Structure 1
């Protein structure tokens, strides 16, 4: 790796106050009993930099762009807002096509002991079993790429702060934050399977069946009583399990599905905002507009105008 010269030292600045020994994958490592946090910064373009860890690892992009080369996957852009789970001893080869001293690439790599992951998942299955007894919570670390939701982003930010601070409760706080992160990641993987591979699970998982039923009947007025009856569960049990595995309440899910359908309708130049309203299950244009804005942070009319401008 190229060592820093005098000019580079003056230009390259670490975001974490770490000593700069190299322009490529300069690393600050912080340790805990169950995990290590590695903070990386790269200040110049580079290709096929090799990296591997001796424990399961979650990497997250903080700034800039990488191109990742992993076994059994086509090379892909890796950008902020994304995380990648890998098993121990998995080789990564990394390109840094855009990194400069003024616009470095920054990421974290969080290694967590196999034993700590197993203990956390075992306790999760014991305390909060999944809706189907044949299914279990697990954490898939085999080249698993995910979009960070707000909870996962918040937890990774919190871990960076906890690892770096001087606090007598530091070890305790890190351990509990790691446990929550493992649970959130497991929830994300289950939710992704139920929402994006629904047809594969409709005959074996009641929640997958309910997701499919909601989508097929999205324009109808769907009640918790009807949905819990279809799932053969009490209302309270259905509500708790739905939120546990999908991360949102049934009512919130129905709303997001209606907005998703409305966006598809609005993309049709022949359809109006009123068409999108009633064809996605709303019975009031005002209610539709308010709901659309609450989720998409833009009113449906402006959303349609933006699509027209892009086209």
Structure 2
């Protein structure tokens, strides 16, 4: 992600660790933090739900359960209100700073979006959409990456309609986050996160366990006991991805796992994951990981 020229023109660099520049609208507040030297166990706490996205560099994050993980560009961490983040900056230096944005979301606006979804796009299983993002660390899809990038420019420019623009984009961002959280659940269905196998859940499990079989819309909609058009619409509403996008996501993630953990060559990997040709496999893999599969195997 990129920072706008207006940010660099107006920001004041006063602290070498987590120098803070803040922008606000009626519904949200965005902070950009810069760190120019190595540091450990830096703590941050916010009053609202926070979406933190890496712009440049690497942070090392500590969870409450004492597990740790690296936080890099192209990823987001969502933290509940009043939850302290503990952060290390192992690589930060003056010539290569670490930069991160923290978007504080107004609780009332999040509630309104969730209420709207429950009124207009009820979930297939009858359960309610809920904004329950308890310390959620995830990789951006293209839509969320684009939204976060656009929000950086909207907050930092001095446009008379900024509040209106930001409000609409945040509404879209919340909906896409809910869909991605739902999609993550489906991708991890084998971990028994669900108490029962419902139609879309049943299909997602079938996809994961039958990557080399017929995964056409006709076949999948039949498994869900729906018409093809209703299945397609319902699947995308529940997960934020079309069935084909979901299948490719599962396939390239399995391919990455095989490349890292086995001695299989590239042909064996893409065939094991259900791809029919090397060119399409390479294109889908690079779209998801921004790297060629051959780089992983090298």
TM-score range, shorter chain: 0.7 to 0.9
Question: Could you say which residue in structure 2 is the equivalent of 1:141?
Answer: 133
Matched, 1:169 2:161: yes
Question: CA separation in 2, counterparts of 1:270 and 1:164?
Answer: 48
TM-score norm. by structure 2 comes to 0.84
Q: What is the aligned counterpart of 1:132 among 113, 125, 134? A: 125
1:187-212 Cα deviation digits (max 9, x unpaired): 11100000123452383321111122
Question: Could you say which residue in structure 2 is the equivalent of 1:153?
Answer: 145
SS of 1:174's equivalent in the other structure is: helix
Question: CA separation in 2, counterparts of 1:62 and 1:305?
Answer: 23
Question: CA separation in 1, counterparts of 2:19 and 2:217?
Answer: 53
Distance 1:204 1:95, change over 3 A: same
Q: Is the 8 A contact 2:270 2:281 kept in 1?
A: no
Unaligned runs of 5+ in 2: 1-6
Q: Is the 8 A contact 2:203 2:220 kept in 1?
A: yes
Question: CA separation in 1, counterparts of 2:43 and 2:16?
Answer: 15
Matched, 1:114 2:103: no
Question: Could you say which residue in structure 1 is the equivalent of 2:48?
Answer: 55
Matched, 1:28 2:21: yes
Q: Which has the larger radius of gyration?
A: 1
Q: Is the 8 A contact 1:85 1:140 kept in 2?
A: no
Q: In the TM superposition, what is the alpha-carbon distance from 1:128 to its structure 2 partner?
A: 1.2
Question: CA separation in 2, counterparts of 1:106 and 1:281?
Answer: 39
Unaligned runs of 5+ in 1: 1-13
Question: CA separation in 2, counterparts of 1:67 and 1:272?
Answer: 32
Q: Is the 8 A contact 2:189 2:205 kept in 1?
A: no
Q: Is the 8 A contact 1:39 1:106 kept in 2?
A: yes
Q: What is the aligned counterpart of 1:242 among 222, 235, 238? A: 235
Q: In the TM superposition, what is the alpha-carbon distance from 1:179 to its structure 2 partner?
A: 0.5
More displaced, 39-48 or 173-182? 39-48
Distance 1:271 1:58, change over 3 A: closer
Question: Could you say which residue in structure 2 is the equivalent of 1:8?
Answer: none
Question: CA separation in 1, counterparts of 2:15 and 2:295?
Answer: 48
Distance 1:262 1:91, change over 3 A: closer
1:8-37 Cα deviation digits (max 9, x unpaired): xxxxxx846411221111111111111100
Matched, 1:91 2:80: no
SS of 1:60's equivalent in the other structure is: strand
TM-score norm. by structure 1 comes to 0.81
Question: Could you say which residue in structure 1 is the equivalent of 2:4?
Answer: none
Question: CA separation in 2, counterparts of 1:263 and 1:21?
Answer: 42
Distance 1:263 1:20, change over 3 A: closer
Q: Is the 8 A contact 1:60 1:108 kept in 2?
A: yes
CA RMSD of aligned residues (A): 2.7
1:24-83 Cα deviation digits (max 9, x unpaired): 111111111111001111111222222111111111111112222342342332222221
Greater relative contact order (CA < 8 Å, ≥ 6 in sequence): 2
Q: In the TM superposition, what is the alpha-carbon distance from 1:100 to its structure 2 partner?
A: 1.2
Question: Could you say which residue in structure 2 is the equivalent of 1:229?
Answer: 222
Question: CA separation in 1, counterparts of 2:102 and 2:264?
Answer: 48
Distance 1:269 1:180, change over 3 A: same
Matched, 1:209 2:198: no
SS of 2:277's equivalent in the other structure is: helix
Number of residue pairs aligned between Structure 1 and Structure 2: 286
Q: In the TM superposition, what is the alpha-carbon distance from 1:229 to its structure 2 partner?
A: 2.4
Question: CA separation in 1, counterparts of 2:25 and 2:72?
Answer: 27
Q: In the TM superposition, what is the alpha-carbon distance from 1:156 to its structure 2 partner?
A: 1.1
